[in-house]
Chain A
Amino acid sequence: MKLTDREQDGVVVLEPKGKIMGGPDATLLHDKLYEFIQQGRTKVVIDLSRIEWMNSTGLGILIQGYTTLRNSDGQLKLAKVTDKIQSLLTITKLVSVFDAYDTVEDAIASFN
């Protein structure tokens, strides 16, 4: 997995690319989120459109990010969730946990 980030309207937008299957992927995203929290940047959107697939490790990373940000008075939202990831969120019932939006712009606007 590769990870890039940018800021738009005071919201951090994370753009992971590739597959999230375990190992170094987990620490990469976790460390990035921790870095943002340390900087006081706690409104985060993850654009999932370039993730080919993820497994339960990827879902665990999303939960960890959601919980960590919430405990820091922030929020994690998802954007452009692919059909394959949506299917995983549905069968694991995590669809009820995450706020997901069709576009990154919609996700950013939801913070206001």
Chain B
Amino acid sequence: MMKPVIKGNSISIPSDQEYLSDVDVFIEGILRGFGADESAVADIAISVSELVNNAILHGNKSASDKAVAVTISKSNGCVEISVTDQGAGFDPCDIENPIDDANLMKEVGRGIFIVRSLMDQVEIEASDRGTTVIVTKCI
């Protein structure tokens, strides 16, 4: 059975939401080491939790033999985080707008919208071998 693996500024977890808190502890610890204030730590932690949830549930479809990799770095005062799954990829254009009246009361579908609101830059690279989302926030 796979377990979380930490190597430097990267963590890899099995496709199970049980490990969300491992990623959070890892990311928040590094962010505080980078000198990020608590508001920025929360914004980035929320965004990473959204991306890892998506990678587990929608990317890897909770497959026990697939992992989610998270890498964090800092350059020129900005934090960059990548989240990679091993799923079949997706088209970002397929995501509905969660603030449309028709979608407002839906219980799901706000993750990427929130990430785009909290982070300065969001790039999605999807292929049939997996999806990598790279987010950046200057702190």
- Could you list which residues of chain A lie within 8 angstroms of chain B, going by C-beta atoms? 19, 21-24, 52-57, 59-61, 63-64, 67, 84, 88, 91-94, 96-97
Contact = CB atoms under 8 A, between A and B. Distances in A.
B20 interface: yes
B39 A84 contact: yes
A105 B113 CA distance: 34
Contacts of B107: 60-61, 63-64
Contacts of A60: 107-108, 110
B105 A63 contact: yes
Chain B interface residue bracket vs A: 20 to 34
Contacts of B18: 23-24
A60 B110 CA distance: 9
A52 B42 contact: yes
A19 B105 contact: no
A55 B50 contact: yes
A97 B110 CA distance: 15
Contacts of B49: 21-22, 55, 57
